[in-house]
Chains A and B, each alone.
Chain A
Amino acid sequence: MHHIKFLRTLLGAAALAFAGSAMAAAPVPTPGGTLTTIIQPEPVILTSALNTAAPTGFFSANVFDGLVEYDNDFKLKPALAERWEFSKDGKTLTFYLRRGVKWHDGKPFTSADVKWTLENVWKKIHPRNQILYGKVTSTDTPDDFTVVIHFSEPSLAVLSSLNSNGAQVLPKHLYEGTDILNNPYNNKPVGTGPFVFKEWSRGNYITLERNPEYWDKGKPYLDKIVFKVVPDAGARAAALEKGEAQYAPFSPVPLKDAERLAKLPSLKLETRGYEWLSPWLFVDINLDRPYFKDVRVRQALAYAIDRNAFNKVVWYGFGKPADSPVVSTLKQFHTSEVPQYEFDLKKAEALLDEAGLKRGADGTRLKINLDYLPYGDDFKRSGEFIRNALKRVGIEVNVRAQDTPTYTKRVYGDRDFDLSVVWFAGFADPLVGVTRAYWSDSVGKNIPWSNGSGYRSAEADKLISQAQGSASQSERIALFKKLQQQVQTDLPSLPLLELHFFTVQSSSLKDAVAGVDQVYGSLKNAWFDSGAKVAANPAPAQR
């Protein structure tokens, strides 16, 4: 008996030792190497504090740090701010900044930089931040490393957007007193981040080099990052396949090519790192149209579209059928306790009949137009799928194509559309990205990505402003859940899919995803597994 016990202990110890050695064998990052990434389309400007476009965000976080970083669970990690605290009433937010951080030009980073950027950029220019910082009454800097922000109303949502994309700090000494939008440093950025800007050859490439004085000791591992501009999707696929580029975010190749590339041993498909964006695809219904004023017609549209088939056929499974505008990966805010519209053609037909839209002699109830966001083939095929789906319930849809400025003017300015297919980023707090689709104040003001349906609901507006000004996170969560129920009852728009973007990357590139916001975060954790590095980076002589 004792022997057995002893044996068991021994075995257990051996197993532990084995596990220990396996853990010790976990790869240690090897420094060095050049990472070639594909950036598409070419950024307009290299500072995401001034323009939140996706390519700018992908580039910019490598040069600029945010106040915090996010981990894989939406939790905050220190970056330029080491600590932060909200006062109990939610009206005062204090940041304790990291000491000894230097701008790339050698000047020290201080609280004055944060104060200046907040007052002049986040509050006035940053296209998303006005809802977060609009209620700031004053900013104090008691010393060089403390920033105290006073709000007139509680603003808890601020914490959801403090990374390099949401709270990018610009160097005051280079920007103060200049025309900010035309400042030359917008295109030769000076930040505090892991990589230093080197060169931008327009239409060609941007290069970054390792910042040897980076505050996060030992990082970054890569010596150099090259961002190549490759406008053609076929050429992007070829460059990745050949290893001329080893990292390409934002679904860089057509979905049907993605499957093929994923099978190559040298490449892998990564769908993590986009959760912070909380993207959802939906159909805006123009509520100004008399035939869409009846909620039964809108419900019929919802019942007529098979979201499962839509996900498989059009999006090759790179999505998840959505039942709310707040995606399910935002666990604390999302709720499925909303009216459900399971695919049911009979119900759709019955609702249309009830609403007085009877089939005519040719079987048609209604003829409408559909405009889709011209962001590529997937959106076009989304429009075509909806056309076919609605045809089955007697609605004739004409799918219209146009370029992006024509599209945004048509939907958000002229409101000359019936249905529009679009995606929004909801971001980590619904206040930042979701409520803009329902807030009545922005209807018809020609502001892209606002309330396209023309939804005007006193109830929804009230819920939104309460959630904005509440000092209790649990209360805010309850309010957002109510809002989801409200808008899914009223159905000004039909959420179709939670989108899953993907990155195509070399399988020898390790630790390229460090958090839910990786696509807008820096590549300071990424490193090449030395065994495979040669294959990914063929020496020019071999080619």
Chain B
Amino acid sequence: MSAILQTVTASAPRRARLWQATLRRLLQLLAVVLGVAVINFFLLRLAPGDAAQVLAGEAGAATPEYMAALRAQFGLDQPLLVQFGKYLLHLVQFDLGYSFRHGMPVAQLIAQRVPATLLLMGASILLAAVGGVILGSLAAYRAGKLADLLVSLLALVFFATPLFWIGLMLVVVFSVWLDWLPVGGMITVEAGYTGLAYVLDVARHLVLPALTLGLFYMAVYTRLMRATMIEVRRQDFVRTAVAKGAPAARVLVVHVLRNALLPLVTMLGVQASAIVGGAVLVETVFSWPGLGRLAFEALFQRDFNLLLGILLCSSTVVVVVNWIVDALYVRLDPRIRLQ
């Protein structure tokens, strides 16, 4: 009884600290979102031409009446500050606005693309992390031997080759020559698959883009893991573990790997944040219906409501990923505390 009481009283200040930290983080997020909204709203308007001009341009013909109708439809005929005020007003109500170009609310457009993006992101991060850890460990344990040489060479090649080129080569080899995998897209629409067949179909379409997007980071992780593991293996506590007769596998997983993972987790955070940018290329090459392409097209089409919406969502993702990375630090290394 007294023991329980003791733990409760002991955890009270800790819980308060946690609340404080959470609150601080939420405020941080709010500031980031507001900053992104304000800066980008005005920055984007520096680009010459507007959405009405783009639409008229694509139409291949236009008249003053048509342009005026479009501008009125988009709200572009109002003063900039009025447009900004309206945007903020919508934003505080968690409304990302309306994409007139697509004739759809921005939130809905983004929601349609999020699953494809998450799938591609998740698959490529998983591939990069798992592949990087295994190959890096292999190279570290065989440092200087043939396996190390091969792995390091491979890592260097993937590290140095441009993303789009890898993508195109993969298509040429695995789709056109060998005919194993589809050229692009996310599903075989013509076939109308359901259930398990649908899942398998999506998986087959996922292989090449996930590989293309993941290979670069896999190379980064391989090199990172190799270097840190060689370093960690020289540490006293590893020597102690080996000396006390711990099995080699246990030494690898519990002592070496866990300590070598910290820099990898940092890089994972960076990858997750950078992937929206990298995804533009891969999504274009593989006709993958994700967010990156949507953002890229929105910029060229001057669809600023949509672009702002995507930027806001992705900056939120970056902030959240950083939280997760911080939490992982604590999990991996008990000496680190959340502030």
Partners in one complex: yes
Task: Please list the residues of chain A having a beta carbon within 8 angstroms of any beta carbon in chain B.
Answer: 34, 36, 41-42, 44-45, 51-54, 124-128, 130-131, 181-182, 184, 186-187, 201-205, 207, 224, 226, 228-232, 234-235, 238-239, 241-242, 244, 403-406, 408-410, 413, 424-425, 433, 436, 445-450, 537, 540, 543
For the complex of A and B, 5 pairs with smallest distance between CB atoms = A405-B49, A203-B289, A204-B289, A53-B58, A409-B49
> Counting CB contacts under 8 A, is B333 at the interface?
no
Partner of A184, one of B66, B100, B103: B103
**How does the 8 Å CB contact mask read for B39-61 relative to A, with 1 for contact and 0 for none?**
00000000111100111111111
Any A CB within 8 A of the CB of B136: no
Checking A224, A239, A404, A447 against B63 with a beta-carbon cut-off of 8 angstroms, the contacting residue is A447
How far is B105's CA from A187's CA once the two chains are assembled, in angstroms? 13
Q: Is the CB of B59 within 8 A of A405?
A: no
The listed residue (B176, B191, B284) touching A241 by CB distance below 8 A is: B176
Q: Which residues of A contact B63 (CB under 8 A)?
A: 127, 130-131, 447
Can you name 14 A-B residue pairings with CB atoms under 8 Å? A36-B189, A52-B61, A124-B65, A127-B63, A182-B100, A202-B113, A234-B171, A235-B285, A235-B286, A405-B50, A449-B56, A449-B60, A449-B62, A540-B201
Q: In this assembly, does B302 line the interface, its C-beta being within 8 Å of a C-beta of chain A?
A: yes
B contact residues around A244 at 8 Å (CB): 182-183
Contact A242-B175, Cβ < 8 Å, known A203-B289, A406-B48, A447-B64: yes
Closest chain A CB from B262 CB (angstroms) = 38
Q: Which residues of B contact A205 (CB under 8 A)?
A: 185, 189
Q: Which residues of B contact A436 (CB under 8 A)?
A: 61
The count of A-to-B residue pairs whose CB atoms sit within 8 angstroms is: 173
Number of contacting residues on B, CB 8 A? 60
Q: Which residues of A contact B55 (CB under 8 A)?
A: 44, 51, 53
On whether the beta carbons of A125 and B62 are closer than 8 Å, the reply is no
Given known A224-B190, A450-B62, contact A239–B53 (CB-CB < 8 A): no
| B69 / chain A contacts, CB cutoff of 8 Å | 124-125, 181
Q: For A540, what are the chain B residues with a Cβ–Cβ distance below 8 Å?
A: 188, 191, 193, 201
Q: Which of A203, A204, A224, A448 contacts B56 (CB 8 A)?
A: A448
**Mask: chain B, 286-317; 1 = CB below 8 Å from A; 0 = not:** 11011001100100111000000000000000
B58 A229 Cβ-Cβ under 8 A: no
Q: Smallest Cβ distance from B274 to chain A, in angstroms?
A: 21
Q: Decide if A448 touches B102 in the complex (CB within 8 Å).
A: no
* Given A202-B102, A242-B175: A449 in contact with B65 (beta carbons within 8 A): no
B183→A52 contact, CB < 8 A: no
Using Cβ atoms and an 8 Å threshold, which residues of chain A touch B54? 404-405
Nearest CB of A to B77, in Å: 14
A444 to chain B, nearest CB (A): 12
Contact call B58/A44, Cβ cutoff below 8 A: yes
Bound complex: CA A111 to CA B291 (Å): 44
A231 touches B284 (CB 8 A): yes
Q: Which of B109, B184, B189, B284 contacts A202 (CB 8 A)?
A: B109
